[in-house]
Amino acid sequence: MKLEHEVVIARPPEDVFDFLANPENLLLWQSSLVKLRRIDPLSHVEVRAVLGKKFRQTLEVTTYDPPAQLDYEVIEGPFRARLSHRLEPVPGGTRVTVVGEGDPGRLRLGEPVLARVVKRQSKHDFERLKAFLESEE
């Protein structure tokens, strides 16, 4: 399963990167996130609710290159996934390009439904991120 989004946020890349790099901020804009606990500076555990089911996963930062790139990998949980955030300055702000790739694991039979739900939710969440950061100016 693969998802891609692009959003332009009217804030400098450094501001957007700093916000994205703090896992606690995920609770402010990701609607499926129920709970988060930081393990160390590069990893955290989160509980998400998708399609009425809760699951726990551990994520680790795999690329930390301020303010241009921030990547995560799910290292423990029911779904293996990688998520890449690329940030680039554009007139009036920052273009954030997000690419997520994952294996739905045990939910293979539900993959088309899961893919639609996750893509729709992710698109909505990045719109919330944009609105939140632009309202914080």
Q: What pTM did the predictor assign? A: 0.89
Q: Quick check: 6 pLDDT over 80?
A: yes
Q: How deeply is 129 buried, as exposed, middle or buried, from its count of CB atoms within 10 A (0-12, 13-18, 19+)?
A: buried
Residue with tokens 């160390």: 40
> Are 98 and 85 a contacting pair, CB within 8 Å?
yes
Q: What pLDDT sits at residue 73?
A: 97
Q: What pLDDT sits at residue 3?
A: 87
Q: Span 2-135: which CATH code?
A: 3.30.530.20
**Please, what is the average pLDDT of the chain?**
91
- 62-88 pLDDT per residue, tens: 999 999 999 999 999 988 899 999 999
> Are 19 and 133 a contacting pair, CB within 8 Å?
yes
